[in-house]
């Protein structure tokens, strides 16, 4: 039996129960099949995975009320106890790592070579925030001549977490773990294209002993379930990961109830390669950051800015590497690129092959769609692009790289910054002064120099411009999920103004 067949057989075993129960919501600790459902299908072959509960505004209302009811006790639980419980959840995630990985691949089309670590990354997110839970409420002592000011933080209340379909398990834990550690209760609305592992996460949390109502799962569409969540008066804040234009809609929807929002949105991130760089390492990193995870990653390096003096040599090597990338079944351990999430998204990505031609760029590699029932596209490289072309400005969100030449540092900086987005940037140069000067002037929330996206959980994660509002990571997450409070105590008999005396 091949490894692929073994993985398929294990997956079949994990999916059996969903054929019977469907993917249910979890509200106030209870499973709910929902009065209406929608189908989730695998991007590998369009086969039905399960029927999914489709929440409407009354389901959202019950979930928000369950989160509200559970909030006082959860917020009052000592940080040490929350820490122990969150570590228990991390243990349970690790124990079900294989199931999570196989389900994630089948539901999203992501290759197992990357998703096999999804559960471990998710568990690491829980452990990191578990350890910070006991100190989350800590504050400062700020004495003035006549007052002692004491600050402290309180969890903001029940929050809504709305997540996208790319690496959904990891991203859900990235938002939910700090919210729980802070003492918030959560209503989670996962993406309709990838509901499977959000269900596993909510079950894992319940089975590990998370009290009823602390984490509620509601599946459904953005325009009804998502919208109702952002408008609900009991939900105090919305942590959202997804497209920039959805972020803008959520801001409008949340305006009447004055929602606090945290947005992790789209990107069109440059990887800038100067001729003095270690070109072999730059090539490895540039290829990895756009063709891993099917290119469906917010921090992908989707624009290559290559210095004219090394362009020919670099692009020739790139074409070879792109042509060698193994496209295949996501559960085959040798696969590097799997099918795209959904037909709708596949059509969007493929439409850029025509835009590239129409605008005068060259399709130097790929630009084709392998014959298959699934949503496969060949890893693609556009060359001879200019900075204002659609392929150089818009987020394509697939295994598609646009190469743009530049002459000098000033031109590179101008091209790098001349887009609506500002999430991440990757800079390759061995000139230290230039690295410092350039990264200081680059408009992006996160910049890696001579590196790919290597995450450090205490560091801030997030974007500028159309790429987001707010930061996750370290203590930054708590700034979002908690309210600051200042208590000023008079330390003597300071003068109080006497009106009408
Ligand atoms: P999307 O915006 O279409 O959907 C994201 C979520 O929002 C889904 O759960 C959806 O149902 C919900 N939604 C849609 N309309 C809504 C509405 N009116 N009100 C409330 N909720 C609504 O995004 P997607 O296509 O699922 O994900 C891909 C996008 O996510 C890309 O743009 C990518 O760059 C971005 N992303 C950003 C980061 C980051 O950290 N910056 C990380 C991952 C993904």
- Pocket flag, ligand 1, residue 473 (CB < 6 Å): no
The pLDDT of residue 207: 97
The pLDDT of residue 4: 96
Judge contact between 480 and 470, C-beta under 8 A: yes
Angle (nearest 5°) at CA 207 between 154 and 115: 90
The residues spanned by each domain of the chain are 3-265+467-486, 270-449
The pLDDT of residue 98: 96
CA distance 253 to 249: 6
Residues 6+ apart with CB under 8 A from 354: none
The two tokens of residue 183 are 């003492």
The pLDDT of residue 484: 97
Of 340, 333, 331, residue with least CA distance to 379: 340
Judge contact between 387 and 398, C-beta under 8 A: no
Expressed in angstroms and rounded, the spacing between residue 434 Cα and the centre of ligand 1 is 35
The two tokens of residue 476 are 């930054």
At 435 the three-state DSSP class reads helix
The pLDDT of residue 495: 97
As annotated, the active-site residues are 264, 298
Residues 6+ apart with CB under 8 A from 66: 27, 28, 29, 212, 213, 216
Of 111, 113, 108, residue with least CA distance to 43: 108
The pLDDT of residue 402: 98
Of 428, 417, 426, residue with least CA distance to 464: 417
Which residue ranges in the chain fall short of pLDDT 70?
Answer: none
CA distance 243 to 222: 12
Expressed in angstroms and rounded, the spacing between residue 331 Cα and the centre of ligand 1 is 25
- Pocket flag, ligand 1, residue 423 (CB < 6 Å): yes
The pLDDT of residue 181: 98
Ligand 1 pocket test, pick from 222, 229, 256 with the greatest ligand atom count within 8 Å of Cβ, gives 222
- Pocket flag, ligand 1, residue 353 (CB < 6 Å): no
- For 140, 153, 235, 493, the CA distances from 148, given in Å and listed in that order, are 10, 17, 33, 13
What's the fold here for domain 3-265+467-486? Aldehyde Dehydrogenase; Chain A, domain 1 (3.40.605)
- For 185, 231, 253, 378, the CA distances from 177, given in Å and listed in that order, are 11, 23, 25, 36
- Pocket flag, ligand 1, residue 267 (CB < 6 Å): yes
Homologous superfamily assigned to 270-449: Aldehyde Dehydrogenase; Chain A, domain 2 (3.40.309.10)
Expressed in angstroms and rounded, the spacing between residue 242 Cα and the centre of ligand 1 is 2
Of 472, 473, 422, 430, residue with least CA distance to 449: 430
Of 64, 423, 90, residue with least CA distance to 241: 423
Of 235, 207, 205, residue with least CA distance to 217: 205
Of 254, 249, 222, 215, residue with least CA distance to 238: 254
The pLDDT of residue 134: 98
CA distance 404 to 388: 10
Residue with the two structure tokens 């992006």: 444
Write the DSSP symbol of residue 292: G
CA distance 99 to 15: 9
List, for residues 32-55, the tens digit of each pLDDT value.
998 999 999 999 999 999 999 999
- Pocket flag, ligand 1, residue 270 (CB < 6 Å): no
The pLDDT of residue 109: 98
The pLDDT of residue 364: 98
Q: Using CA positions, which residue lies closest to atom 22 of ligand 1? A: 222
Ligand 1 pocket test, pick from 240, 242, 421 with the greatest ligand atom count within 8 Å of Cβ, gives 242
The pLDDT of residue 173: 98
Let me know if the fold of 3-265+467-486 is the same as that of 270-449.
Answer: no
The pLDDT of residue 126: 98
Q: From the alpha carbon of 221, which atom of ligand 1 is closest?
A: 11
């Amino acid at each position: 039996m091949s490894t692929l067949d073994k993985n398929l057989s294990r997956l079949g075993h994990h999916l059996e129960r969903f054929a019977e129960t469907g993917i249910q919501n979890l509200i106030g600790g209870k499973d709910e099949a929902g009065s209406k459902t929608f189908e989730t299908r695998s991007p590998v072959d369009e086969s039905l995975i399960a029927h999914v509960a489709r929440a409407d505004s009354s389901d959202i209302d019950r979930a928000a009320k369950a989160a509200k009811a559970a909030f006082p006790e959860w917020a009052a639980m000592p940080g040490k106890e929350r820490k122990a419980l969150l570590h228990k959840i991390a243990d349970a995630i690790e124990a079900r790592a294989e199931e999570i990985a196989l389900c994630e691949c089948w539901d999203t089309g992501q290759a197992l070579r990357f998703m096999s670590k999804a559960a471990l990354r998710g568990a690491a997110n829980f452990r990191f925030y578990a350890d910070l839970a006991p100190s989350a409420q800590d504050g400062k002592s700020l004495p003035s001549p006549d007052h002692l000011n004491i600050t402290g933080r309180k969890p903001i209340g029940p929050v809504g977490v709305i997540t996208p379909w790319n690496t959904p398990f990891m991203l859900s834990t990235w938002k939910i773990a700090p919210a729980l550690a802070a003492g918030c209760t959560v209503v989670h609305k996962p993406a309709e294209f990838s509901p499977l592992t959000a269900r596993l996460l909510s079950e894992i949390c319940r089975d590990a002993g998370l009290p009823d109502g602390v984490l509620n799962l509601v599946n459904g569409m953005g325009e009804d379930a998502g919208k109702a969540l952002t408008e609900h008066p009991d939900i105090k804040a919305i942590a959202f990961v997804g497209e920039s234009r959805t972020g803008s809609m959520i801001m409008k929807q949340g305006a009447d109830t004055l929602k606090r929002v945290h947005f992790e949105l789209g990107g069109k991130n440059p990887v800038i390669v100067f001729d003095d760089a270690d070109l072999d390492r730059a090539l490895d990193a540039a290829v990895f950051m756009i063709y891993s995870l099917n290119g469906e990653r917010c921090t992908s390096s989707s624009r290559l800015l290559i210095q004219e003096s090394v362009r020919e040599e670099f692009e020739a090597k790139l074409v070879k590497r792109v042509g060698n990338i193994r496209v295949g079944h996501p559960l085959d351990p040798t696969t590097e690129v799997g099918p795209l999430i959904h037909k709708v998204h596949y059509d969007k990505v493929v439409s850029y092959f025509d835009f590239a031609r129409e605008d005068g760029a060259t399709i130097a590699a790929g630009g084709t769609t392998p014959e298959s029932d699934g949503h496969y596209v060949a890893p693609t490289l556009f060359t001879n692009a200019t900075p204002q072309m659609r392929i150089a400005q818009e987020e394509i969100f697939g295994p598609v790289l646009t190469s743009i030449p530049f002459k000098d540092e000033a031109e590179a900086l101008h091209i790098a910054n001349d887009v609506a987005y500002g999430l991440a940037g990757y800079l390759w140069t061995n000139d230290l002064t230039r690295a410092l000067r350039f990264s200081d002037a680059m408009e992006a929330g996160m910049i890696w120099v001579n590196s790919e996206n290597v995450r450090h959980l205490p560091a801030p994660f997030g974007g500028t411009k159309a790429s987001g509002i707010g930061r996750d990571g370290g203590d930054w997450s708590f700034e979002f999920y908690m309210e600051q409070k200042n208590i000023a105590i008079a330390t003597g008999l300071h003068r109080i103004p006497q009106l009408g005396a």
